Structure 1
């Protein structure tokens, strides 16, 4: 079994996992946007940590680069856009990994 065939056999799983991970991350950032309407919610307690922990690192980094506009933190919106773009470029209908997967399926 060659390295190419091993890689080709793992492509469907990689494609599915990456698509789900990017979709879940987008959803977490969307939850962060909605939760900004409820400032009393503590993202460091209970089930809210499932939203806070995977997103806070990127938000902390991007808040240093992008200041709040009119007192509103726009970084979650920016990350939703960037992750959606990445998802489309990699695993979307015309994404790179999707095209490689289609090509490998047509070969064999």
Structure 2
């Protein structure tokens, strides 16, 4: 078995991982929206609340995924990755939910 964790541990991981993935996804949605407005200085309040937590992830990604027609698509790529991870790990049929439900029966 590749991942041998108990149902209780899966529930704990689920309780920690799901909010983290949700907050990161919301940050990426914020960056996607802010990318439509290039005149905004994202290093000033209130935009810096979205800029500073997401920039360490997006800066290296921009080197791989170049802007498309002047639009930064790296937050879209990260939102897709985070959505995939959320669905695979914490979704209704996700790995952690399935492991957690094993202990219910």
Give the TM-score of the pair, scaled to structure 2: 0.83
Counting matched residue pairs gives 102
**Structure 1 vs Structure 2 CA RMSD:** 2.0
* Distance apart, 1:10 and its partner CA: 4.1
**CA displacement at 1:69 relative to structure 2:** 1.5
1:92 aligns with 2:91: yes
Structure 1: gaps (5+ residues): none
- Tell me the secondary structure at the aligned position of residue 49 of structure 2: helix
Richer in helix (by share): 1
Structure-2 residue corresponding to 1:81: 80
Q: CA deviation at 1:93?
A: 0.9
Q: Which runs of 4+ in 1 moved over 4 A?
A: none
Residue matched to 1:24: 23
Select the structure of larger CA radius of gyration. Answer: 1
Gaps of 5+ in 2: none
Partner of 1:12: 11
Mapped partners of 1:100, 1:63: distance in 2: 36
Q: Which structure carries more relative contact order (alpha carbon 8 Å, separation 6+)? A: 2
